[in-house]
Structure 1
Amino acid sequence: MTVCLSANVNAIAELRNRRNLPWPSVIALSRLALSAGAAGITVHPRPDERHIRLSDVPEIAEMIETEFPDREFNVEGNPDARFVELVERVKPDQVTLVPDDIRQATSDHGWDIAHHREFLTDIIARIKAGGMRVSVFVNPEPGTANLAQEVGADRIEIYTGPYGGALTPDVQSRELDHVAATGRAAEAAGIGVNAGHDLTLDNLQPLVAAVPNLLEVSIGHCLTADALIYGMEGAIARYLEICDPDAGGSPTS
């Protein structure tokens, strides 16, 4: 099965925001990623707008809709009132609900769905009523799959930080087993599987092999770092060779 690659452009926006200048352009680099074959773009607007700004979101949505109507826009975030109003206005293809805390440098844990069951059930129903697919960010724990299905999620996004950040083969293998078990549980629960966080050219292929029902990966930090070496087109080509090995093409293109 082909795994869709969604290019997360948060790191590009964070670099732009270091100066009060319009470059690097989030729109231009998103366009390059899509032109190179990425299946979609992911953004994660946070309340402090330290990378993606609220004003970026409708601009990216318009670019995708007019230039790449066959691609997807995924907006991640903590579903507070402002976030929900944003996605209802922009209507991305997918909304990924993440339990962020303003103090976090980056997302580092999934939902405690049982504790937030009523809240998530209501929010998911509201977003789905607007015609958007909903994914819930979860820890690599098999029990989260049934819980996500019960609150109405279409998919889970498995937090792969413990796997991606593993520094020894034994730890990496153990963490990959957790991810794979969660993927199997999602298949049994009848919901889709996405994955993201700390995925690289080195650790993506074992993940794809271990989770045959994986639908989408969202990759940003390492993709941006690789783009500094290979260019955005070259970096996308390398990831696509792993996500879609039957598509052909050279990883050095």
Structure 2
Amino acid sequence: MTATGPKLSVNVNAIAMLRNRRDLPWPDPARLSRIALEAGAHGITVHPRPDQRHVRFSDLPVLSRLVAEHGEGAEFNIEGYPSPDFLDLVLANRPHQVTLVPDDPTQSTSDHGFDFAARRAFLTETVARLKDAGLRVSLFADPTPDGLEIAAQTGADRVEFYTGPYGATHSDDGAAARALDALGRAGDRAVDLGLGVNVGHDLTLSNLPPLVERMPYAAEASIGHALTADALELGLAGAVRAYVEAMRVR
């Protein structure tokens, strides 16, 4: 696996949530996704929740076409809990990657990975269905080596490590070093098992460079909240460029 550092997938859920505060069509997730791609983002990520409080189901075909029209290897990533309705949405919109997460519908955001031992049969069946449709499949995982052998046995292509525990150490350098070491050991194990590695949750301009140095094999980082916050100061294009630079292998 070439150690080039992760590519940036911009999660536009926060943008969609801001739009949904009013009965108005702005800010437009599609227009801002185009800006992000033109500024250097590799892809766009969405998490269409059952109550549509963030991205709406009607956004998906629009964003799918936008990413396809951009070309240059741009990718569309749809993440969510693999309910029958979610799988129908995925198969109708055919993203490049689907990231399966174990969320309860009432959760405000993803905050834990799958129990791979308990969900082995379900995930194996679901992964097979998605891969038969030609989609790359990533499974949301806690930052630990536990259960990664089972994740690989499901047939998944990648795991996305939940980096929330690392992000939560923003004010404690010692805790950050320990969390990054744990995350890195999990990533190393995934690579040994032949799994690609994605990362996501609470990643920022300050904590990305150490992560990339420790895990240069990471394929993708999905970032929404912090990037959207930085866009208030830098503009969206400026924030995307800053995050792309922060993820370069030094």
Query: So what's the TM-score if we normalise by structure 2?
Result: 0.96
Distance 1:70 1:207 in 2: 24
1:7 and 2:15 are equivalent in the alignment: no
Indicate the SS of the match to 1:31: helix
Q: Which stretch of the first structure deviates more once superposed, 188-197 or 142-151?
A: 142-151
Distance 1:198 1:233 in 2: 20
Distance change (3 Å), C-alpha of 1:245 and 1:175: closer
Corresponding residue of 2:167: 164
Shift of 1:169: 1.4
Contact 1:34/1:68 (<8 A) preserved: no
Q: Tell me the amino acid that sits aligned with residue 39 of structure 2.
A: A
Corresponding residue of 2:243: 239
Distance 1:36 1:97 in 2: 27
Q: Tell me the amino acid that sits aligned with residue 146 of structure 1.
A: E
Corresponding residue of 2:128: 125
Alignment of 1:93-172 (within 5 A): 93-166=96-169, 167-172=171-176
Q: Tell me the amino acid that sits aligned with residue 212 of structure 1.
A: P
Q: Tell me the amino acid that sits aligned with residue 240 of structure 1.
A: V
Q: Tell me the amino acid that sits aligned with residue 231 of structure 2.
A: A
1:209 and 2:221 are equivalent in the alignment: no
1:18 and 2:21 are equivalent in the alignment: yes
> Which contiguous aligned blocks of 4+ residues in structure 1 show a shift greater than 3 angstroms?
none
Aligned partner (choices 63, 71, 74) of residue 74 of structure 2? 71
Contact 2:166/2:176 (<8 A) preserved: yes
Shift of 1:243: 1.8
How many residues matched? 246
Corresponding residue of 1:249: none
Indicate the SS of the match to 1:218: strand
Distance 2:137 2:130 in 1: 7
Corresponding residue of 2:40: 37
Distance 2:118 2:6 in 1: 31
Q: Tell me the amino acid that sits aligned with residue 29 of structure 1.
A: L
Deviations 1:49-86, CA, capped at 9 Å, x for gaps: 11111111111001111233520000000000011011
Distance change (3 Å), C-alpha of 1:188 and 1:245: closer
Distance 1:20 1:212 in 2: 43
Indicate the SS of the match to 1:42: strand
Corresponding residue of 2:201: 197
Indicate the SS of the match to 1:214: coil
Runs of at least 5 residues in structure 1 that lack an aligned partner in the other structure:
247-253
Distance 2:174 2:231 in 1: 29
1:230 and 2:247 are equivalent in the alignment: no
Deviations 1:86-118, CA, capped at 9 Å, x for gaps: 111111000000001122111110000100000
Deviations 1:20-55, CA, capped at 9 Å, x for gaps: 100000000000000001000000000011111111
Alignment of 1:183-194 (within 5 A): 183-194=187-198
Over the aligned positions, Cα root-mean-square deviation in angstroms equals 1.1
Contact 1:111/1:138 (<8 A) preserved: yes
Query: So what's the TM-score if we normalise by structure 1?
Result: 0.95
Corresponding residue of 2:64: 61
